């Protein structure tokens, strides 16, 4: 059952990938700009463009071009990056560990912050603490990720010298980039959790739990939290694309050598194959993340049947 579900989800990811690839293909090869020009950049002219056009088969009909492109993609060939001077897949895979580390770190830290804050705000709703959490949420969600990152650099790296300004490799270098995304994220999820916990407060099963003599802490943690976490998990799946956006910006601010920073460098040099590769790569990551979120959902709520 579960196996069949996973298979279906993977199939949907494949359909997404197909859609994304068709879209990017149409954008590049049927768009207003000359793809040969885009592929080689602004500098090349005349003969070299004709050469490129033949080399990439751009003189063939559109559907032939798409089929060739897809057959390359399916064989794991995303073309060559002329900015990094290596195959696109190599560029992306060599940068994957850094991005994955940052993503996992952001998820873990934001949940570690959001769950206790949301639970306490709900149990103490209406108090000064609760209002403080709401105001903090509003403020942290009003700053762009990259600006929050700069503020953290200014205060904690430049003024207080607690952490390095940027770079990758040590644990201390991971903290500021993580916080730039995790702080607003945790504030957002804490408010979601707070409102679902408040809904749970008046639920029948909570009254039953109290009636059989369980203490507040046990009811909150074992009965309410498990149910209140469900909408949070759903939200997590929806927010995957924006997590990726946040990571790209933070990688830029902290010179974090991940896929996002690499794609930005490529974008600044009109290196289209790398951006296309990142689009497909990102679609795979989002698809897998959503699969994990769905599996997490059934683990939290056994009533949910995956079909």
Residues near another protein, by CB under 8 A: 13, 15-16, 19-20, 23-24, 27-28, 31-33, 38, 138-139, 141-147, 150-151, 153-154, 158, 238, 240-242, 244-245, 248-249, 252-253, 263-264, 267-268, 270, 272, 275-276, 278-279, 281-283, 285-287, 290
Residue 63 main-chain phi, psi, to 5 deg: -70, -35
Q: Which one, 79 or 282, has the nearer CB to another protein?
A: 282
CA distance 184 to 98: 21
Percentage helix, strand, coil for the chain under 3-state DSSP, each rounded to 5: 75, 0, 20
CA distance 265 to 199: 46
CB of 72 to another protein, least distance (A): 18
Residue 186 vs 278, nearer CB to another protein: 278
What tokens appear for 66 in the block? 């798409």
Residue 238 CB, nearest distance to another protein (Å)?
7
Question: How many whole angstroms separate alpha carbon 235 and alpha carbon 191?
Answer: 12
Instruction: Choose between 214 and 267: whose C-beta lies nearer to another protein.
Output: 267
For residue 166, the minimal CB distance to another protein (Å) is 11
By beta-carbon proximity to another protein, the closer residue of 106 and 119 is: 106
Which of 7/241 has CB closer to another protein? Answer: 241
Residue 176 CB, nearest approach to another protein (Å): 14
State the Cα–Cα distance between residues 235 and 193, nearest whole angstrom: 11
Pick the closer one to another protein by CB: 122 or 289.
289
- On whether the CB atoms of residues 245 and 57 are closer than 8 A, the answer is no
Nearest to 57 by CA among 43, 45, 71: 71
Instruction: Give least dist CB 282 to another protein, A.
Output: 3
Minimum distance between the CB of residue 139 and another protein, rounded to whole angstroms? Answer: 7
Structure tokens at 266: 């490529």
C-alpha 190/C-alpha 141 separation (Å) is 12
Nearest to another protein of 225, 254 (CB atom): 254
Handedness of CA 264, 265, 268, 271 (dihedral sign): negative
Nearest-angstrom CA–CA distance, 123 and 13: 39
Residue 81: its H or E element: strand 80-81
Closer CB to another protein, residue 127 or residue 242?
Answer: 242
Minimum CB–partner distance for residue 2 and another protein (Å): 21
CA distance 69 to 13: 19
Rounded least distance, CB 199 to another protein, Å: 13
């Amino acid at each position: 059952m579960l196996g069949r579900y996973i298979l279906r989800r993977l199939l949907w990811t494949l359909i997404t990938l197909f859609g994304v690839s068709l879209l990017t293909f149409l954008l590049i090869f049927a768009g207003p700009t000359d793809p040969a020009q885009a592929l080689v950049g602004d500098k090349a002219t005349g003969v070299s463009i004709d050469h490129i056009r033949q080399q990439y088969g751009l003189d063939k009909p559109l559907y032939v071009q798409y089929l060739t492109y897809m057959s390359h993609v399916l064989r794991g060939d995303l073309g060559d990056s002329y900015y990094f001077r290596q195959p696109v897949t190599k560029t992306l895979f060599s940068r994957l560990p850094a991005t994955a580390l940052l993503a996992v770190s952001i998820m873990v830290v934001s949940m570690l912050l959001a769950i206790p804050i949301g639970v306490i705000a709900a149990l103490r709703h209406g108090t000064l603490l609760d209002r403080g959490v709401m105001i903090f949420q509003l403020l942290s969600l009003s700053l762009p990720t990259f600006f929050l990152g700069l503020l953290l650099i200014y205060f904690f790296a430049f003024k207080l010298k607690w952490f390095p300004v940027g770079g990758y490799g040590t644990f201390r270098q991971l903290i500021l980039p993580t916080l730039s995304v995790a702080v607003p994220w945790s504030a957002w999820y804490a408010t979601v959790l707070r409102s679902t916990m408040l809904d749970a407060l008046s639920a029948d099963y909570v009254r039953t739990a109290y009636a059989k003599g369980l203490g507040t802490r046990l009811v909150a943690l074992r009965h309410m939290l498990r149910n209140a976490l469900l909408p949070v998990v759903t939200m997590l799946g929806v927010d995957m694309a924006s997590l990726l956006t946040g990571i790209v910006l933070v990688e830029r601010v902290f010179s974090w050598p991940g896929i996002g920073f690499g794609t930005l460098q490529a974008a600044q040099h009109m290196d289209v194959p790398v951006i296309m590769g990142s689009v497909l790569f990102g679609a795979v990551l989002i698809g897998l993340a959503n699969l994990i979120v769905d599996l997490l959902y059934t683990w939290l709520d056994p009533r949910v049947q995956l079909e």
